[in-house]
Amino acid sequence: MKTGEDAMTANAAGRYATALFELAKTSGAADAVEADLSAFRAMLEESPDLAEALASPLHPADAKDGVLAELAKKAKFNALTRNMFGVAAHNGRAGELGTVAKIYAALAAADRGVVTADVTTAAALTKKQTEALAASLKGAFGREIEVRTDVRPELLGGLIVKVGSRMFDSSLRTKLDGMKNAMKEA
């Protein structure tokens, strides 16, 4: 593993993701589990209440396990995904499942030889803009790039691109903050 991957998998969520990825790959279910976790991440994004409930220490592990089991059953998730949800819930890690899903996606992409770029913009990128950005990043890194986007209007303009441990910040918010600090120092 590369240093960036070591740092990514050093915490509990990383260990869960790594173990799940290795099990899924060995059993030929890596793609199915990746799809499950992607769908689960979408559920968490659509329902902040779900994410909050899973992270809350006020809800017992059994209740979280029940909710996760029912979600997985209705979504027809792979048995490995369902089992990992149960293990995470019983070990008090249900609140970290979103991070597990994100790390799993990065591990799967790396296994395919694809580098993941997390791009944050003030406004949603069009398909053409996303493709152009991916092509530009491919030229810079010499590898296939999978672009994941996030919209944060508080950036005002520009974008933030994170590839592995590298981050490129050309957001208007960062530039304005830099000018504000420079004026304070003057």
pLDDT tens-digit profile of 68-87? 999 999 999 999 999 999 99
Give the pTM: 0.70
Out of 1.10.520.20, 1.20.1050.10, 1.10.3720.10, 1.10.4160.10, which CATH number does the structure's domain 3-109 have? 1.10.520.20
- Residue 8 confidence class, pLDDT cut points 50, 70, 90: low
CATH of 115-185, one of 1.20.1270, 3.40.30, 1.10.3470, 1.10.1060: 3.40.30
pLDDT at res. 109: 87
Q: How do residues 122-151 score in pLDDT, each as one tens digit?
A: 888 899 999 999 999 988 888 888 888 888
Give the contacts of 15 (CB within 8 A, at least 6 positions apart). Answer: 9
Of 26, 39, 166, 19, which is closest to residue 107 (Cα–Cα)? 19
Is there a contact between 162 and 146 (Cβ–Cβ < 8 Å)?
no
- In whole angstroms, what is the distance from residue 105 CA to residue 123 CA? 24
CATH 3.40.30 residue ranges in the chain?
115-185
Considering the chain, tell me which residue range(s) the CATH 1.10.520.20 domain(s) occupy. Answer: 3-109
pLDDT at 1 over 50: no
Would you state the pLDDT for residue 97?
96
Instruction: Write the CA distances from 60 to 47, 63, 125, integer angstroms.
Output: 19, 5, 40
Length of the chain: 186
d(C-alpha 135, C-alpha 2), whole Å: 24
- The predicted pLDDT at position 64 comes to 95
Q: Give the C-alpha separation, 16 to 84, whole Å.
A: 8
Confidence band (pLDDT; 50, 70, 90) for 2? very low
Phi, psi of 144 (to 5 degrees): -60, 140
Residue given tokens 């809350």 in the structure block = 56
- The Cα–Cα gap between 33 and 104 comes to 9
Q: Are 65 and 76 in contact (CB under 8 A)?
A: no
